[in-house]
Structure 1
Amino acid sequence: MSLPAEMRFIDLPSFGAPDVMTIATGPVPRPRPGEILVRVEAAGVNRPDVAQRQGTYPPPKDASPILGLEIAGEVIALGEGVNGFKPGDKVCALANGGAYAEYCAVPEGQALPWPKGYDAVKAAALPETFFTVWANLFQMAALTEGESVLIHGGTSGIGTTAIQLARAFGATVYATAGSEEKCGACEKLGASRGINYKTEDFAAVIKEVTGGKGVDVVLDMIGGAYFEKNLNVLAKDGCLSIIAFLGGPTVEKANLTPIMVKRLTVTGSTMRPRTAEEKRAIRDDLLSEVWPLLEEGKVASVIHTILPFDEVVEAHRLMETSTHIGKIVLKLR
């Protein structure tokens, strides 16, 4: 397939509300050494996209300034040194930027084949959330079979992924969400108990359901607002893994005694600044440990809404309402 000179992409002329984004035309990127060029068929929408649009999450210096972190589509060109893929391969990939476009160049080590039976939309809903959950829940927090985990934001893209993977690997899962419907969705995905944070005290519920022991891991995207309560619900030698700050990044006052008394670990990370080597290692784990689960139907991408590429403004508005259960995906082809 010959490469066109230009493509459509979502431009961000200024930071602000969703309607600052516009459709624009620009040059098709050329793959650098170690990269593949993908003709994008679908792109996932994620919280970091919203943060970048608002001006609080700048892309790395060498990344595309175009929004978007995950794609699915067809490989159409290879950069120098690429040997793991060939033109015509159907892939999904974690992009460093540039996913809201008809063509996107991504490092070879951040791409995976579509799971068997998947189409572009289902595949595009995988990379950002699965990379993030695997790195934070399994690599850093070391969740293992027989342990328990509390997942905040259980119906977000991260939450629906984390619930399924934790259950698939033999953990007992509890999850918070903001309505009875959402709590029911968490339980359907594998949570033993959905906790409505608007009507229940999640710390009291966890104390009750664990007989006072607490959970081994907390996966948190709220941040400062939940910090002290998260420490209190952890069992001895537990781990708090922080991946976002929807409730603010600061803690004005907190009792840190549980960290010492219970030998707790507090950790966290963002995916985008990780090195190519680190992302490749996560990719390799996903391919060997998680892709078979996807192909067997034991774990699946959970998709709330599919919108045409031209409706990216509506996609971001929906993301900001937090009413969705699962992923929001843009369809380009």
Structure 2
Amino acid sequence: MSQPTAAGGAAPATMRAVVVTRPGCLDSLEVKDVPVPVRKPGWVRIRVKAFGVNESEVSTRKGESDPEVTYPRIPGIEGAGVVDEADEDSGLRPGQQAATMMGGMGRTFDGAYAEYVTVPAGQVIPFTSELPWGVVGGLPEMFQTAYGSLAVGLGLQAGQTLLIRGGTSTVGLSAATLAKDRGATVLSTTRSPERAGELRAAGVDHPLVDDGTLVDQVRELVPDGVDAALELVGCSVLADTLRTVRRHGTVCFTGALAGQWTIPDFTPFMIPNGVRLTSYTGEAVDLPAEVFAHQLQAIAEGRLKVPVAKVYHGLEQIREAQADVESGTTPGKHVVVLTD
């Protein structure tokens, strides 16, 4: 039987955490003293140093998230920190830097809006980096989704052309930097012409203004169609996105920023001849530790840009952070750093 390993001193009995007792407005985000979670066998307890604030957590706070979410709930689908306690055979050691995301965090079990979080060992990514927590804390979900979409959903290769629809989202900006690092030519969209500079800063070769129809703009640049397209806007524009892709190219449906997740009266014949349609929902295992390490090194060397919009200090700033995410006026990732 595996034995637990613990950090130098025992964890305190209580911790500070953001708790949503019942769905509602920003006032429903309450900072409380709660018991430190007890780690189960096969799970890891992480002392949280920083976490990203995401639209899905805004939905959880409003009661608009997945039906399996129950309350009270500590939100937070991602976090970064140091291992506090783990099984000896997990390969994780106390004090080791670690990131975690998804897999039910903040939905079916309590998440990272807290000083400690427990998660299954399989969704923990160990790493070593001197990057500030205000950067690392916003990476796990963003990079996992972007990398998984490119690697698993699209199988993107060096030299290929990629269209990102929804390019100024955090995943869209991350996907652009990762795709450029892979040697792809990137076309990416924004609905606002004044935000084209953000796309260029992320390395996008061809910023496009999305007025609801892209096929003519894309085909003017790539007459035969792009090799791959990452759909982040949703089903309302999916038919048009499919027409931007060459025969035997691939579209990966990852997100629905516009809110439409389904297509009424869908027929497979809406997919152009020879075009492939896949999807990506995201799991921590799709971001291997060595890939995450490569991304962290690329950030440290300045080869990858991280779209961090704002860093907040302390759990008490969570209402401000969620308000900023909900308003959408400050593009990029919002990260809360916990003060010691």
The answer, yes or no, to whether TM exceeds 0.5 is: yes
Query: What is the aligned partner in structure 2 of residue 303 from structure 1?
Result: 308
Q: Distance in 1 between matches of 2:224 and 2:68?
A: 42
Correspondence 1:58 to 2:66: yes
Contact 1:156 1:324 in 2 (8 A): no
Q: 1:155 aligns with which of 162, 168, 171?
A: 168
Partner of 2:6: none
Give secondary structure in 1 for the equivalent of 2:288: helix
Work out whether residues 155 and 185 of structure 1, in 8 Å CA contact, stay in contact via their aligned partners in 2.
yes
TM-superposition CA deviations, 1:109-149 (whole Å, max 9, x none): 33334553312111111110111112222112111111111
Q: Give the whole-Å Cα distance in 2 for the aligned partners of 1:17 and 1:316.
A: 10
- Label 1:48 to 1:286 Cα distance change in 2 as closer, same or farther (>3 A): farther
Is the Cα contact below 8 Å between 1:84 and 1:108 reproduced in 2?
no
Alignment check: 8 A CA contact 2:160 2:184 kept: yes
Say if 2:97 and 2:128, in contact at 8 Å, map to a contact too.
no
Partner of 2:318: 312
Alignment of 1:70-81 (within 5 A): 70-78=78-86, 80-81=87-88
Q: Which residue of 2 aligns with 1:2?
A: 10
> Could you tell me which residue of structure 2 aligns to residue 209 of structure 1?
221
Contact 1:59 1:65 (8 Å CA) reproduced? no
Q: Deviations over 1:155-182 (max 9, x none)?
A: 2221111000001001111111232342
| Structure-1 separation of matches of 2:281 and 2:249 | 21
Say which of 303, 315, 330 aligns to 2:336: 330
Aligned position for 2:31: 23
For 2:281 and 2:286, locate their aligned partners in 1 and report how far apart those are by CA, in whole Å. Answer: 15
Deviation at 1:48, TM superposition (A): 1.9
Q: What letter is aligned with 2:17?
A: F
Q: 1:51 to 1:307 in 2, by over 3 A?
A: same
The size of the alignment, in residue pairs, is 323
Secondary structure (helix, strand or coil) at the match of 1:225 reads coil
Code of the aligned partner of 1:131? Q
Q: Which moved more, 1:181-190 or 1:244-253?
A: 244-253
- Check if 1:174 corresponds to 2:187: yes
Q: Which residue of 2 aligns with 1:269?
A: 280
- Which residue type is aligned with residue 135 of structure 1? G
1:34-45 to structure 2, matched below 5 A, reads: 34-45=42-53
Aligned AA (1:26): V
1:231 maps onto 2:238 in alignment: no
Aligned-pair CA distance for 1:195: 1.7
Residues in 2 aligned to 1:54 and 1:61: alpha-carbon distance in whole angstroms: 11
Q: Given the superposition, is the C-alpha separation of residues 147 and 60 from structure 1 closer, same or farther in structure 2, using an over 3 Å criterion?
A: farther
**Once the two structures are aligned, what percentage of the paired residues are identical?**
29
The 1-side partners of 2:201 and 2:77 are apart by: 28
Contact 2:127/2:293 (8 A) holds in 1 = no
2:178 maps to 165
Root-mean-square deviation (CA, aligned residues, Å) is 2.6
Query: Where in structure 2 are there 5+ consecutive unaligned residues?
Result: 1-8
Matched, 1:280 2:280: no
Whole-angstrom CA distance in 1 between matches of 2:73 and 2:113: 10
TM-score normalised to the size of structure 1? 0.87
Q: 1:104 aligns with which of 113, 117, 138?
A: 117
Deviations along 1:247-271, whole A, 9 cap, x unmatched? 212324778646252x112121323
- Classify 1:77/1:115 alpha carbon distance in 2 versus 1 (closer, same or farther; 3 Å): closer
2:233 to 214, 222, 229: 222
Would you say the 8 A contact 1:240–1:267 is kept in 2?
Answer: yes
The aligned counterpart of 2:5 is none
Return closer, same or farther for 1:285/1:61 CA change in 2, 3 Å cut-off.
farther
Instruction: Give the one of 243, 246, 249 matched to 2:261.
Output: 249
Separation in 2, partners of 1:264, 1:18: 43
